[in-house]
């Protein structure tokens, strides 16, 4: 058992997308659950979504002036070396002031400077890699940290084998507690218990291809007698809101962002989703039949690799982004009509769930502190 008598001080750094932020918050919640005395500070990148999402989760965060390198020549790229130097200096000051026992990096711009500064001072450090294809920040940091917690097997091509621990991705604990929530969930979204429901999630920033495909298919979905919970992300939301208003009586609900994801999953019979690492981990734990549309706009096409890990186990259906306009809505309608296929996917996806990910990561962290 962890030593709960000591008040540990831990910095958790990273962010940029929900896929980095929610695992970070889940790790913090687990730390707090086993040791209420723990002191946690988050370090993020100024102007990124972690600067609002982390305080909403009840934690303090400070921001670094840092961003990623763009693939084309931009003014941002010219200032990148200055940002790195400035962020490393700021990280040293944060470490001096907070005096952490250990630091955790979850990927994203801010984790680079913070973990670089911490490891130069021999502070125990751990990184958590969510994807089946490692991010550049984590690959660079792997040589400097003591442990690398991963969500997929066979990650030796990215990280030193002796540092790897297969933990899975930590997700919000409420997603592991969906039993008995369906009635509450349908009431929350003002949906009918007589109809089946499709949940559409394009990641925290939305997914244009999925949104356009759903917009085109709204008539088909509602005419077939199904309801829709549609998370669009901010850019597409005004358009989706106008469309949803036309189909409101038929059970179409559009949101730019859904905070009560446990209720969204509990209401859903099937899910249409991007194949980000966090989305896949949530789907496995929720045990939901899913149609995955991997984003083509990510490094090394890692969302397709994430999706294929499920498809190969007959645990999800894949529709490629380039084919979504023609095939996505029809694939979802075929699945929601076929209860036998839903059961098969559900049984197989549940086998891939790792419900103890946050606890396993925290155990590794406390070993480092000791």
Nearest Cα residue to 132 out of 163, 113, 159:
159
Other Cβ atoms within 10 Å of 315 Cβ, number: 24
d(CA 302, CA 134): 8
Give how far Cα 313 sits from Cα of 151, 171, 274, 317, Å. Answer: 16, 21, 18, 10
What is the SS3 assignment for 368? Answer: helix
Question: Quick one: tokens of 162?
Answer: 């002796």
What is the SS3 assignment for 55? Answer: helix
Please say whether the beta carbons of 127 and 149 come within 8 A.
yes
179 contact partners, CB below 8 Å, separation of at least 6: none
CA end-to-end span of the chain: 12
DSSP output for 240-283: HHHHHHHTGGGTEEEES--S-HHHHHHH-SEEEE---HHHHHHH
- Could you tell me which residues are annotated as the binding site? 17-19, 131, 172, 204, 258, 303
Question: Quick one: tokens of 272?
Answer: 């249409």
What is the SS3 assignment for 143? Answer: coil
Nearest Cα residue to 229 out of 306, 287, 288:
288
Radius of gyration of the chain (CA): 21
| DSSP 8-state class, residue 39 | E
- Could you tell me which residues are annotated as the binding site for UDP-N-acetyl-alpha-D-glucosamine? 17-19, 131, 172, 204, 258, 303
What is the SS3 assignment for 60? Answer: strand
Chain length of the chain: 370
């Amino acid at each position: 058992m962890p030593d709960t008598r000591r008040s540990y001080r831990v910095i958790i750094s990273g962010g940029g997308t929900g896929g980095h932020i929610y695992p970070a918050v889940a790790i913090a919640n687990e730390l707090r659950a086993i040791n209420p005395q723990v002191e946690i500070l988050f370090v993020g990148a100024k102007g990124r979504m972690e600067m609002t999402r982390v305080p909403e989760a009840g934690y303090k965060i400070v921001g670094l002036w840092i961003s990623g390198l763009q693939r084309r020549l931009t003014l941002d790229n010219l200032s990148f070396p200055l940002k790195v130097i400035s962020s490393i200096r700021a990280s040293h000051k944060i470490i001096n002031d907070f005096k952490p026992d250990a630091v955790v990096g979850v990927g994203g711009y801010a984790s680079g400077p913070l973990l670089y500064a911490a490891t130069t001072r021999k502070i125990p450090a751990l990184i958590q890699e969510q994807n089946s294809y490692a991010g550049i920040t984590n690959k660079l940091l792997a040589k400097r940290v003591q442990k690398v917690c991963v969500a997929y097997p066979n990650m030796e091509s990215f990280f030193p084998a002796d540092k790897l621990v297969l933990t899975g991705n930590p997700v919000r604990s409420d997603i592991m507690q969906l039993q008995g929530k369906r009635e509450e969930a349908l009431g929350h979204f003002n949906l009918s218990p007589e109809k089946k429901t499709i949940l559409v999630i394009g990641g925290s920033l939305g997914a244009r291809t999925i949104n356009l495909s759903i917009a085109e298919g709204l008539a088909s979905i509602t005419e077939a007698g199904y309801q829709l919970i549609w998370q669009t992300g901010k850019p597409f939301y005004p358009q989706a809101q106008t469309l949803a208003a036309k189909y409101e009586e038929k059970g179409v609900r559009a949101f730019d962002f859904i905070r009560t994801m446990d209720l969204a999953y509990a209401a859903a019979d099937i899910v249409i989703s991007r194949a980000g690492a966090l989305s896949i981990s949530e789907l496995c734990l929720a045990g939901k039949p899913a149609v995955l549309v991997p984003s083509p706009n990510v490094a090394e096409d890692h969302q397709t690799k994430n999706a294929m890990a499920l498809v190969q186990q007959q645990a999800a259906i894949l529709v490629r982004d380039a084919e979504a306009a023609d095939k996505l809505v029809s694939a979802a309608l075929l699945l929601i009509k076929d209860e036998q296929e839903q059961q098969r996917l559900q049984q197989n996806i549940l086998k891939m769930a790792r419900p103890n990910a946050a606890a396993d990561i925290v155990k590794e962290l406390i070993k480092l502190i000791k």
